[in-house]
Amino acid sequence: MRRLVVLAVLTLAACTEAGNTLAPPMDRFFFPSGLALTSTAGGNQALLVASANFDLHYAFDSGATVLSVDPRPASEGGSARPGGGALVKHGAGARLPSFTGPLAVADATTCPGDLANPGFGTATRPATALITSRYVNRLYLLPIGADGALEPCGGPECSLPLDPRLLDAGSVTVTCRADGARRTAWVSYLWDPQLTTAAGVVVSPGTAWLSEVDLEDPAVALRTIPLTFGTVADAVYDAASDRLFAVGGSSTFTAPVFVLNLRPCRPGDATCPSPSFVVTDLYGALRGTDLTGIALSNRQAGRGRRAYVSARVYDADIALAGGYRPANDIAGVLMVLDIEENGGGKPAMRVLSVTEVGLGPGKVAVLPPRPAHADGTPRGDLVVVTNSTDGVVTVYDDDLGAVVRVLPLDERTGRPEAGRVPYALVVDPRPRGTGADVFVRAYVASFRQDMISLVDVPLLNPGAAAIYREGGQPAVIGTVTP
């Protein structure tokens, strides 16, 4: 299914390549595809929003954008206001080639230490936004100033060609070691032709590939590795174990979870071996599973480590009879996996539970740890999932093993409260409020309505999670498309 979508988009681009030169607007979002947060010098947050130019309305080679905005309510000096509207921006933003994907940020939190290259994380440029463009199959590295603004950067250090053998670069995951021994990021691909490796091994289409980028010196040759079947849909880094966890989308009746044991060395080091990896196939646990997102549990004494994996579910019998993945899903689920170390010191994963959520589950995020129970035992995680088909946002409580809140369709209009096709998701880890009223805020992008919703989740009463409102009306970021 992913390949059909990619081919359709590329065909549209080819048919309209006559020369669209419209410049994209820099005061609004259009098909927001990625969100990321980074801290500013004043102690606030900058929300980075990537717009994909998905319908190619604007210029193909520069029609996507990344804007940095103040996500606070307008009453606090930010962009969120009832009904949406004008943005409070940090800087002018950046124009990029079309079909941008998810955003990642390498900053003092995700990539500790000083990056050596003057474009990446020095005292004057403390953070870097990382994003791919499928249109040109490149990775863009955009320096972020201390005030949250994207700084001008037109040189070769701001744009990196990815593996020319592969197509449609997708997600980016920062994988910097806490001790500073390695500062890298991994990029996934959504489409691969049949390839022959340097060793003469023929790798068939449908293989998952990842490329490692050296953030200290992006000019260093990429390290590109094949995994097993399935394109990588999402990935998350665990700094404590120095492992990369990734989920593969289904095109071959598999649902792989990859766990890569990373190396404490840079990809350009010829003596540095490629990471080893193990694969757990979840298809046997639930036929028709197509994995879409992954997040890891908080590390808490007394609780085992878990992975939360979102998955679309299609009719496996129809797929088997036709030899292809059906376009329509029959369910959406959140799978809870236990992560253990086997006798050989390798991660072993088993399914603890499968909970139904809305159709079209996409991104998954785990909220910060909650206050302990009265007896001192830690509480389970709170997990937020976006459901693009149903247009809802789901809150799951691992203490109860159940969904405790679904941000629904508006009872009066039937419209999704978080906008049509909610997909991109990011959580501000800083708790707000005090005592029993403490809550955490998540930002959810509506791909079809070009807006960002603020979702507040009370840590001790997650069933009361709600869209942030002012005067009874949702306060959103951006100009809302009807």
How far lies 64's CA from each of 11, 30, 67, 84, 473, in Å?
A: 18, 8, 10, 21, 30
Looking at per-residue pLDDT, the higher value among 397 and 416 belongs to 397
pLDDT average, residue stretch 445-460: 95
Model confidence at 344, in pLDDT bands (50, 70, 90)?
low
Please give the helix or strand (H or E) that residue 322 lies within, else none. Answer: helix 316-322
- The pLDDT, as a whole number, for residue 194 is 60
pLDDT score at 412: 62
Angle at 319 between CA 317 and CA 323, to 5 degrees: 125
Give the H or E element holding residue 337: strand 331-341
pLDDT at 202: 59
CA dist list (Å): 472 to 67, 76, 132, 415: 28, 18, 38, 16
Is residue 51 within 8 A of residue 110, CB to CB? The reply is no
Ranges 27-41, 209-223, 314-328, most confident? 27-41
Query: Average of pLDDT values for 164-182?
Result: 90
- CB distance 82 to 471 below 8 Å: yes
Q: Is the pLDDT of residue 33 over 70?
A: yes
- Grouping H, G, I as helix, E, B as strand and the rest as coil, residue 234 is strand
- Average pLDDT estimate for 378-388: 95
Q: What does the pLDDT read at residue 206?
A: 72
Degrees (nearest 5) of the Cα angle 370, 148, 219? 100
The predicted pLDDT at position 9 comes to 44
Q: pLDDT tens across 185-205, in order?
A: 999 998 776 656 666 665 566
Alpha carbons 418 and 377: distance in angstroms, whole number: 34
Higher per-residue pLDDT: 144 or 218:
144
What is the per-residue burial (b if ≥16 Cβ within 10 Å, else e) of 229-261? bbbbbbbbbbeebbbbbbbbbbbbbbbbbbbbe
Which of 211-225, 245-259, 461-475 ranks highest by mean pLDDT? 461-475
- The pTM of the full predicted model, rounded to 2 decimals, is 0.90
Q: Which segments within 94-166 are labelled E, that is strand?
A: 94-96, 104-106, 127-133, 138-144, 159-161
Helix/strand/coil for 44: coil
Say what percent of the chain tops pLDDT 70: 87
Residue 113, CA distances (Å) to 87, 121, 122, 346, 378 in order: 32, 9, 9, 29, 31
Looking at every residue in the chain, the average pLDDT score rounds to 87
Q: What integer is the mean pLDDT of 59-79?
A: 95
Largest alpha-carbon pair distance within the chain?
Answer: 68
pLDDT band at 119 (very low <50, low <70, confident <90, very high): very low
Cβ neighbours, 10 Å, residue 148: 24
pLDDT one-digit tens code per residue, 467-481? 999 988 899 999 999
Q: How far apart are the C-alpha atoms of 126 and 67, rounded to whole Å? A: 17
Q: Pick from 244, 191, 187, 242: which is nearest to 218 by CA?
A: 187
CA count, 13 A, side-chain hemisphere, 117: 20
- Reply yes or no on whether the pLDDT at 8 is more than 50: no
The model's pLDDT over 418-443, given as tens digits with 9 standing for 90+, comes to: 888 999 999 999 999 888 889 999 99
Cα 335 to Cα 285: distance, rounded to the nearest angstrom? 10
**Res. 181: pLDDT tops 60:** yes
Residue 171 has pLDDT above 80, yes or no: yes
Q: Is the pLDDT of residue 290 over 90?
A: yes
Measuring CA to CA, which residue among 372, 415, 423 is closest to residue 393? Answer: 423
In angstroms, rounded to a whole number, what is the distance separating the alpha carbons of residues 453 and 458?
Answer: 16
- What pLDDT was estimated at residue 415? 72
Q: Looking at residue 11, what is its pLDDT?
A: 40
Q: Is the predicted pLDDT of residue 2 greater than 60, yes or no? A: no
Phi, psi torsion values for 88, nearest 5 degrees: -100, 105
Q: Is the pLDDT of residue 152 over 60?
A: yes
Residue 116: pLDDT band with limits 50, 70, 90: very low
Place of tokens 């048919």: 15
- The DSSP line for 367-424 is PPPPPPPTTSPPPPPEEEEEETTTTEEEEEETTTTEEEEEE-B-TTT--BTT-SSEEE
Q: Is 7 left (phi over 0), alpha (psi -120 to 50) or beta?
A: alpha
Task: Kindly give the pairing relationship between strand 32-39 and strand 159-161.
Answer: unpaired
**What secondary structure letter does DSSP report for 28?**
S
| Mean pLDDT score, 367-379 | 92
Q: What is the mean pLDDT of residues 351-366?
A: 95
Cβ neighbours of 414 (radius 10 Å): 8
